[in-house]
């Protein structure tokens, strides 16, 4: 109560109408609502639908990412410490190396050593994302004269989890700036964007800096180490799906770690920070479904589309393209499909709105993901572009679903609307 009273009596009057800092009210309001719920809420019957508001929705999604975050921290540190202690690769020089060495060392068998090493890479990314994102959010809110929206809480945390751990921080700043400004604010801000801002930023980085976003040297934070992700191994023909093991029995170059389907399921593999563990992502999915925040129709649609399209390619087969042979359960556990299915495709702003449309929207994403992975040899991952394609198609899907409903109603009523 002391802080609340201090803000209300000593600080707030300077930012309210008539105060000397009135034109900067939006920045004060952003800070105040991060600490406390706003005093004014919507009360009229025309707008109140239930007891949940945008902030609670965003915080629920934020909490749902915690399992993926925690496992991502551990796995980032584990992958680095494994190569340092077992195979003699040098850690990337800098303050992170000094911090990890001083606090825990580089033992991959020590849980806290892995967590600290993961934190040393994740926390700077997180800080860079939120400082940059909220700068743009506050700037646009100030210019437009409205409050800062809480939507970036989710956009920011999701963006950190779809990045490789060794990405340069200046690229993080560029990516989140592009995603927020071009992917959302130019269309009017949260609720008016038709593309997922986190994926827009990720797509910009991929096409602008492909070597830093898809190369083999960015997934593990050690020097002189090059290791391919399971999708890269599959695309190059180094993964035997029937045996469930990499043909060279290694993840990457001299990594010394067997790759089986169970490795990809549990998540102890190289990849983007929050995308490797199906179990961690699944816990988040159960939480979102239990709280009814995410649409089960979209999730089911993505699964159905992915299973159907991968089965078609399995039946067709190919002597030159090994991706034709990848079964659906491998598609699910490698790359970012599971993470995109749970956290990206279900974005309520950029997804389809009608119930039937949500199912169709998900199917389109699942089919497109497998098409891109299998048919396009230059782009082994496909979920990012598939979701962006689905975002573009969402209004059209809803339009046709709505028109079909209108036609059915007219037939039932004899042509009377």
3-state secondary structure 67-124: HHHHHHHHHHHHHHHHHHHHHCCEECCCHHHHHHHHHCCCCCCCHHHHHHHHHHHHHH
Q: Decide if pLDDT at 15 tops 70.
A: no
Residue 79's closest CA among 234, 216, 244, 243? 216
Q: How many CA atoms lie within 13 A of 12 on its CB side?
A: 13
Residue 349's closest CA among 294, 280, 413? 294
Instruction: Please tell me the predicted confidence (pLDDT) of residue 315.
Output: 94
Q: Decide if pLDDT at 274 tops 80.
A: yes
User: Model confidence over 371-407: pLDDT tens digits?
Assistant: 999 998 677 788 999 999 999 999 999 999 999 998 8
Instruction: Please tell me the predicted confidence (pLDDT) of residue 1.
Output: 57
How is residue 399 written in tokens? 């339009």
Distance CA(404)–CA(398), nearest Å, equals 10
Neighbouring C-beta atoms of residue 150, cutoff 10 Å: 20
Tell me the Cα Rg of the chain. 23
Instruction: Please tell me the predicted confidence (pLDDT) of residue 16.
Output: 63
Residue 150's closest CA among 69, 49, 60, 66? 60
Instruction: Please tell me the predicted confidence (pLDDT) of residue 262.
Output: 85
Mean pLDDT of 266-270: 87
Q: What percent of the chain has pLDDT over 70?
A: 80
Residue 186, SS3? helix
The whole-chain average pLDDT of the chain stands at 82
How far is the CA of 51 from the CAs of 44, 61, 150, 210, 285, in angstroms?
13, 17, 17, 44, 22
* Higher-scoring residue by pLDDT: 194, 129: 129
Distance CA(261)–CA(194), nearest Å, equals 36
Instruction: Please tell me the predicted confidence (pLDDT) of residue 380.
Output: 72
Residue 84's closest CA among 103, 97, 94? 97
Q: Decide if pLDDT at 12 tops 60.
A: yes
Q: Which of 99-103, 302-306, 364-368 has the lowest mean pLDDT?
A: 99-103
How far is the CA of 266 from the CAs of 43, 75, 119, 259, 371, in angstroms?
46, 11, 20, 11, 25
Torsion, CA 96, CA 99, CA 103, CA 108, rounded to 10 = 20
Place 46 in a pLDDT band, splitting at 50, 70 and 90.
very low
Place 6 in a pLDDT band, splitting at 50, 70 and 90.
low
Mean pLDDT of 243-271: 63
Instruction: Please tell me the predicted confidence (pLDDT) of residue 171.
Output: 94
* Higher-scoring residue by pLDDT: 219, 308: 308
How is residue 92 written in tokens? 């990337």
Alpha helix locations (H) across 260-377? 261-266, 278-290, 296-316, 328-333, 337-339, 355-375
Instruction: Please tell me the predicted confidence (pLDDT) of residue 250.
Output: 41
pTM assigned to the model:
0.84
Neighbouring C-beta atoms of residue 103, cutoff 10 Å: 13
Residue 166's closest CA among 235, 259, 97? 97
Instruction: Please tell me the predicted confidence (pLDDT) of residue 415.
Output: 63
How is residue 182 written in tokens? 């071009």
């Amino acid at each position: 109560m002391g802080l609340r009273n201090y803000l209300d009596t000593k600080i707030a009057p300077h930012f309210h109408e008539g105060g000397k800092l009135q034109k900067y009210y939006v920045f004060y309001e952003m800070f105040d609502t991060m600490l406390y719920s706003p005093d004014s809420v919507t009360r009229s019957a025309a707008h109140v639908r239930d007891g949940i508001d945008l902030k609670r929705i965003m915080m629920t999604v934020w909490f749902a990412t915690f399992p993926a975050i925690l496992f991502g921290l551990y796995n980032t540190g584990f992958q680095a410490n494994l190569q340092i202690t077992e195979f003699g690769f040098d850690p990337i020089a800098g303050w992170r190396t000094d911090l990890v060495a001083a606090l825990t060392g580089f033992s991959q068998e020590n849980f806290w050593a892995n967590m600290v090493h993961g934190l040393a890479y994740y926390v700077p990314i997180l800080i860079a994302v939120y400082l940059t994102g909220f700068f743009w959010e506050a700037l646009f809110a100030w210019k437009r004269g409205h409050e800062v929206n809480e939507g970036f809480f989710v956009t920011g945390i999701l963006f950190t989890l779809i990045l490789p751990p060794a990405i340069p921080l200046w690229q993080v700043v560029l990516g989140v700036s592009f995603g927020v400004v071009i992917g959302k604010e130019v269309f009017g801000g949260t609720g008016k964007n038709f593309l997922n801002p986190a994926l827009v930023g990720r797509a910009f980085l991929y096409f602008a800096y492909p070597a830093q976003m898809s190369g083999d040297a960015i997934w593990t934070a050690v020097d002189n180490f090059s290791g391919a992700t399971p999708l890269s191994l599959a695309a190059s023909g180094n993964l035997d799906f029937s045996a469930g093991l990499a043909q060279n029995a290694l993840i990457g170059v001299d990594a010394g770690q067997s790759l089986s389907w169970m490795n990809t399921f549990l998540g102890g593999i190289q990849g983007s920070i929050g995308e490797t563990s199906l179990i961690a992502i699944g816990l988040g999915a159960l939480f979102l479904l239990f709280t009814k925040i995410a649409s089960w129709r979209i999730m089911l649609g993505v699964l159905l589309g992915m299973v159907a399209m991968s089965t078609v390619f399995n039946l067709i087969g190919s002597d030159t393209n090994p991706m034709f042979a990848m079964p659906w359960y491998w598609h699910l556990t490698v790359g970012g499909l599971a993470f995109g299915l749970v956290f990206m495709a279900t974005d309520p702003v950029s997804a389809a709105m009608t119930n039937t449309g949500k199912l169709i929207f998900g199917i389109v994403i699942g089919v497109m993901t497998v098409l891109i992975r299998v048919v396009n040899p230059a782009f082994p991952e496909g979920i990012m572009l598939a979701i962006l394609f689905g975002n573009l198609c969402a209004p059209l899907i809803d339009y046709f679903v709505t028109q079909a409903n209108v036609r059915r109603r007219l037939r039932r009523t004899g042509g009377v609307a």
